[in-house]
Amino acid sequence: MSVLVRAGLVMALTASAAAAAAGPADVFGGFSSTRLGEDTYHGWNAAFTYGLGGGKVGLTADLAGHYASADDTDLGLFTYLAGPRLQIAGGGKVRLYLHLLGGRARASAKYSPVTGVDITQSETSTAVLAGLAADFSLSESWALRLSASYFGVDAEPEMESQPRLSLGLSYRLGSGK
């Protein structure tokens, strides 16, 4: 975890140093999949990034909802994360980004042993998301985004980590191309 904290500080300092001029923003929405324990969750992912320093560095807010079923139990995982994103390559047809986000994850389980009886349990924990995203330009404003990330949740007694994959569309707002 300390490596992620250090990397986040370096990216945050880079963002502060590069924030001389405000840049474009982008909005993302798409399909997402992750694992938690032995269960695979599928759902949605939405993000908003405000560009700083001409758009190479940005601040991202990320929301995601993932769902699964096991036997008579409905599982849910909702995350709300924020942090820096750094464009590391591109500017033409393909742009590559690194992101390091932190926030909270809320896991819930609803067990229905018989019709009309529901037993629900939920827990909120610290979560981190670190990874790489690629935008493949479809037009000046639209891009197809593929994101592959390490997703970690502080589940007692230890941190549980799994990959999270997202695929969807990104729309660039403002003057960015």
pTM: 0.80
Position with higher pLDDT, 70 vs 125: 125
Instruction: Flag the least confident range among 11-15, 28-32, 127-131, 153-157.
Output: 11-15
Position with higher pLDDT, 156 vs 62: 62
Identify the three-state secondary structure at position 37.
coil
Asked if pLDDT for residue 129 goes beyond 70, the answer is yes
Asked if pLDDT for residue 154 goes beyond 90, the answer is no
The number of helix segments (H) and strand segments (E) in the chain equals: 1, 8
Sorted by where each begins, the domain ranges of the chain are 2-173
| Domain 2-173: assigned CATH number | 2.40.160.20
Query: Mean pLDDT over residues 1-13, rounded?
Result: 44
For residues 6 and 16, give the distance between their C-alpha atoms in angstroms, rounded to a whole number: 15
- Which DSSP symbol is given to 129? E
**What pLDDT band is residue 159 in, cutting at 50, 70 and 90?**
confident
Task: At 177, list the tokens.
Answer: 């191309």
Task: Give the up-direction half-sphere exposure of residue 138: CA atoms within 13 A in the CB hemisphere.
Answer: 10
Task: Give the up-direction half-sphere exposure of residue 136: CA atoms within 13 A in the CB hemisphere.
Answer: 6
Query: Mean pLDDT over residues 95-116, rounded?
Result: 90
Identify the three-state secondary structure at position 12.
helix
**What pLDDT band is residue 9 in, cutting at 50, 70 and 90?**
very low
Asked if pLDDT for residue 157 goes beyond 80, the answer is no
pLDDT for position 73: 87
Q: Each residue of 20-67: pLDDT tens digit?
A: 344 589 999 999 999 877 888 999 999 999 998 777 899 999 999 999
Task: Give the up-direction half-sphere exposure of residue 6: CA atoms within 13 A in the CB hemisphere.
Answer: 3
Query: Mean pLDDT over residues 144-166, rounded?
Result: 89
